[in-house]
Structure 1
Amino acid sequence: MARTASLSGFPEWLPEERLVELHVLDTLRRVFELHGFGSIETRAVETVGQLLRKGEIDKEVYGLSRLQEDESDNPVKGGKADPNALALHFDLTVPFARYVVENAGYLSFPFRRYQIQKVWRGERPQEGRAREFTQADIDVVGDGELPFRYDVEIALVIAEALSALPIPDFRLRINNRKLAEGFYRGIGLDDTAGVLRNIDKLEKIGPAKVAELLKTELGASDEQATKALQLAAIRTEDTSFVAQVRALGVSNELLDEGLDELEQVIDAAVQRAPGKVLADLSIARGLDYYTGTVVETVLVGHEQLGSICSGGRYDALASKGNRKFPGVGLSIGVTRLVSRILSQDLAKASRSVPTAVLVALNHDDSWGAAQDVAALLRSRGIPTEVAAKAEKFGKQIKFADRRGIPFVWFTDEDGTHQVKDIRTGEQVLAAPETWMPPLEDLAVQVETTATAAATV
């Protein structure tokens, strides 16, 4: 990246960096829409009670209040968060669940949506972790039930979307909460949420410390802790994980259900996204609303960045009376991805502005005629600017060069037109009604660099 943001945790991009981000966003939109996902946007603000009803992350939530506040504006009362106070959303899944409940009568189920918005979290800023950042989510939500096949489809859509981005190779690391919880119950550990929270710390603190936490916090025996860690150590690129789990000698009905579901996901991925998916039985996901498939995605060679895409199955996040809206979805950390692309020089925009042509001025009185030329070019989709001053042509060409504009348009006194490619110096006769730049120059191209190719 060219610079560091002046306010930590709130990134701002230079124009050429923003073009890379826009390319990422446009690519994701295109892939999501090709698979039939429709776009929605939810409000940035939710009630505190809504945000905190699944999973305890209250330390990361930004409360919202007026500078000239009265008592009713204060998000914290008596040392506790007021459930009716307003706060900025920390992800897009919880607001989406509220959106589905409130609009259920207007939606067609299964409802397929994608959502690309900013979210806010009060985290300690570092690369890959910002306080304001953009996420891109896709979800499928059912009314009463949702076939498991959507778990498989979501993983395949995300694999396709990530494959279209200018990033290094990646792996979707997939597990199933039913598999994990059934296994823990099968070995006599009933506080499955507690076990999952500790297993989720494996990559941060290592197996020895996780084993110690299982024993001291949950009362696990040495044998139970060993079994839990043996399960978490299983990683395969195919369905051979099933035999490895069975070899651990644990029986449980929920375990069997989770094994079957994970086998279906991995089997489909091996066929349709070979080399992109890994069965990783250490993946737990910290939020409490996941009930089945869980996913975390890492860039190969950039694992220290953390997950760039995560999510899973949730059967009870959204409900309205006795009516349940189960769903499955994944969220891509767009800002985390773009930050890594820019900081590691993984991709670059072909120019710093959208403009392909600068129409030069012979003299100040020619500005109106230059605007006519520009209008003709724009009518055929060619991004065009008109020079502001009738300086010497050399200065107008230098201006275009500084802006990154590849072509300069000249109109002679007799009304003929010429266009100059200032990169090569070639200048040819042209007509504004018919001339087109090469396809690669018509719009900004975002290209993977040699640096990115070397990391794959």
Structure 2
Amino acid sequence: MARTTSLSGFPEWLPEERIVEQHVLDSLRRTFELHGFSSIETRAVETVEQLLRKGEIDKEVYGVSRLQQDEEDSSKEGALALHFDLTVPFARYVVENNGYLTFPFRRYQIQKVWRGERPQEGRAREFTQADVDVVGDGTLPFRYDVELALVMIDALSALPIPPFVLRVNNRKLAEGFYRGIGLEDAPAVLREIDKLEKIGADAVARNLQEAVGASPEQARAALALAEIRTEDTSFVEQVRALGQSNELLEEGLAELAEVVGEAARRAPGKVVADLSIARGLDYYTGTVYETVLVGHEQLGSVCSGGRYESLASTGKKNFPGVGLSIGVTRLVTRILSQKMASASRSVPSAVLVALNDDESWSAAQDVAGALRSRGIATEVAATAQKFGKQIRYAERRGIPFVWFTTVAEDGTVGHEVKDIRSGEQVPADPQSWQPAPEDLRPGVAAAGSSED
């Protein structure tokens, strides 16, 4: 498990833990690129106005300023803050660079974000997110909502984590239903429904009546919709059985059925239509997603997102999109704390070149150079201690092989390499010797499986 740092909410990893995190990041990159997403990076800061224009999250935002800031500095630009997610900066990036992008624009982005909330397992103040989005110019076909679900299933399936469930809903479905029962302030209803798992149905019913003005009958109807969960498209008939129908509701039903139907065909059991999923942020307009690990539901969603029609806009033109975000730090923290996966060693080095004497250091560097030229990570001992001590150093470091150079009486130079795990020592040529593929670099193995 990662050490507790002296500054709460800002996690740091030990070397072997960092290897696990890098494995997760590399796996995500491979999957995103296999699906045709391009990598971008945006700046760490945005103007406060930009960050707060969608949703009420001002208490979570970290402001940024110079310790010695003067009036001239503050007058040149608006107040700055660290971004709390990657979606809002991405929207700004699309607007500013739309003349240079090809639409639909498929992007993935893996960066640190900062959020000023109370630290606990699964929630940090500094953490890494991995986002994928598709953004259109003016319009974006709904099929991308389906594709994003399939991309995320592929991405999460490749990680050393327990089984997961991608829970999907549609804001059009929910808003159409609420209007049908006479609740016109759909965003307010959604914000209360979003609290269902945290506070329970009775508390949500009270909130709907006190904060939204719902009657007891309307509150019961809203909760009845939220109770519907199916692994196939049978939710459509269950919703219709509640007795409401309007154009927006029917549009949401059709869209959700397409997402769930295709995902259920390709990845049975991975996707559930869950009509309690609301997503609190106001910019979502259609499909919304949340993902939980089976048996670890208390951790909360490890991947979420949805469809937005006007988060990115020039004023004259909208750039609608759909995207999902993985909480990488949340996932890695749980992987490490529950020992779901571990690194085969804590260092990249596969070989330690031992020294016969201090004068042989330069020759040892020649051996190391030959090995490194073929991609074999190699260290050279710093001092010519007894071989036993040099071998123990390699063991402490987790280096699997120690390289020895021998000089015969006639001056002939030979080389041998020792696998310090098995004790086997064999002749080797620095120009051609190669370790087994699994020893070339640190591997990450899920609990109960072989190394990757």
TM more than 0.5: yes
Q: How far is the alpha carbon of 1:74 from its aligned partner?
A: 7.0
Residue in 1 that maps onto 2:59: 59
Deviates more, 1:10-19 or 1:270-279: 270-279
Residue in 2 that maps onto 1:421: 419
Query: Partner amino acid for 1:162?
Result: L
Residue in 2 that maps onto 1:9: 9
Q: How far is the alpha carbon of 1:415 from its aligned partner?
A: 1.2
1:210 pairs with 204, 215, 222, which one?
204
Gaps of 5+ in 2: none
Deviates more, 1:99-108 or 1:210-219: 210-219
Q: SS at 2:413's partner residue?
A: coil
Residues 18-76 of structure 1, C-alpha deviation per residue, up to 9 Å, x if partnerless? 0000000000000001111010000000000000000010000000111123356679x
Residue in 2 that maps onto 1:270: 264
Q: SS at 1:283's partner residue?
A: coil
Is residue 174 of structure 1 aligned with residue 168 of structure 2?
yes
Q: How far is the alpha carbon of 1:200 from its aligned partner?
A: 0.3
Query: Partner amino acid for 2:357?
Result: H
Cα 1:157–1:437 shift into 2, 3 Å: same
Cα contact 2:2–2:12 (8 A) shared by 1: no
Cα contact 1:38–1:114 (8 A) shared by 2: yes
Residue in 2 that maps onto 1:112: 106
Q: How far is the alpha carbon of 1:263 from its aligned partner?
A: 0.3
Residue in 2 that maps onto 1:40: 40
Query: Partner amino acid for 1:350?
Result: S
Q: How far is the alpha carbon of 1:2 from its aligned partner?
A: 4.3
Q: SS at 1:314's partner residue?
A: strand
Q: SS at 1:124's partner residue?
A: coil
What does residue range 229-248 of structure 1 map to in structure 2 within 5 Å? 229-248=223-242
Is residue 157 of structure 1 aligned with residue 155 of structure 2?
no
Query: Partner amino acid for 1:428?
Result: V
Query: Partner amino acid for 2:58?
Result: D
Query: Partner amino acid for 2:247?
Result: E
Residue in 1 that maps onto 2:336: 342
Is residue 22 of structure 1 aligned with residue 16 of structure 2?
no
Q: How far is the alpha carbon of 1:84 from its aligned partner?
A: 2.0
CA distance in 2, matches of 1:311, 1:2: 28
Q: How far is the alpha carbon of 1:223 from its aligned partner?
A: 1.2
1:92 pairs with 86, 106, 120, which one?
86
Cα contact 2:343–2:445 (8 A) shared by 1: yes
CA distance in 1, matches of 2:341, 2:176: 44
CA distance in 2, matches of 1:142, 1:83: 30
Residue in 2 that maps onto 1:185: 179
Cα contact 2:131–2:324 (8 A) shared by 1: yes
Query: Partner amino acid for 2:65?
Result: S
Cα contact 1:363–1:390 (8 A) shared by 2: yes
Gaps of 5+ in 1: 76-81
TM-score, scaled relative to structure 2: 0.97
CA distance in 2, matches of 1:90, 1:12: 19
Residue in 1 that maps onto 2:275: 281
CA distance in 2, matches of 1:50, 1:290: 17
Q: SS at 2:318's partner residue?
A: strand
Cα RMSD (Å) of the superposition?
Answer: 1.5
Residue in 2 that maps onto 1:78: none
Residue in 2 that maps onto 1:306: 300
Cα contact 2:352–2:379 (8 A) shared by 1: yes
CA distance in 1, matches of 2:294, 2:371: 44
Cα contact 2:63–2:81 (8 A) shared by 1: yes
Residue in 2 that maps onto 1:437: 435
Residue in 2 that maps onto 1:147: 141
Cα contact 1:341–1:347 (8 A) shared by 2: yes
CA distance in 2, matches of 1:218, 1:324: 30
Query: Partner amino acid for 1:34?
Result: L
Q: SS at 2:140's partner residue?
A: coil
CA distance in 2, matches of 1:446, 1:97: 35
Identity of aligned residues (%): 77
Is residue 259 of structure 1 aligned with residue 257 of structure 2?
no
Query: Partner amino acid for 2:220?
Result: T
Query: Partner amino acid for 1:363?
Result: D
Cα contact 1:142–1:327 (8 A) shared by 2: yes
Cα contact 1:140–1:150 (8 A) shared by 2: yes
Query: Partner amino acid for 2:192?
Result: N
CA distance in 1, matches of 2:401, 2:148: 43
Aligned length: 446
Is residue 225 of structure 1 aligned with residue 219 of structure 2?
yes
Q: How far is the alpha carbon of 1:321 from its aligned partner?
A: 2.7
CA distance in 2, matches of 1:210, 1:2: 37
CA distance in 2, matches of 1:117, 1:315: 24
Query: Partner amino acid for 1:39?
Result: S
Q: SS at 1:362's partner residue?
A: coil
CA distance in 1, matches of 2:51, 2:267: 35
Query: Partner amino acid for 2:430?
Result: P
Q: How far is the alpha carbon of 1:432 from its aligned partner?
A: 1.0
Is residue 249 of structure 1 aligned with residue 204 of structure 2?
no
Residue in 1 that maps onto 2:326: 332
Residues 78-101 of structure 1, C-alpha deviation per residue, up to 9 Å, x if partnerless? xxxx99200000000000000000
Q: SS at 1:147's partner residue?
A: coil
Query: Partner amino acid for 1:321?
Result: G
Q: How far is the alpha carbon of 1:105 from its aligned partner?
A: 0.4
Q: SS at 1:179's partner residue?
A: helix
Cα contact 1:355–1:384 (8 A) shared by 2: yes
CA distance in 2, matches of 1:83, 1:147: 37
Cα contact 1:49–1:83 (8 A) shared by 2: no
CA distance in 2, matches of 1:83, 1:373: 56
Deviates more, 1:87-96 or 1:61-70: 61-70
CA distance in 2, matches of 1:250, 1:272: 31
Cα contact 1:73–1:85 (8 A) shared by 2: no
Residues 180-232 of structure 1, C-alpha deviation per residue, up to 9 Å, x if partnerless? 00000011100001000000000011001101111111111111111100000
Q: SS at 1:348's partner residue?
A: strand
Query: Partner amino acid for 1:253?
Result: E
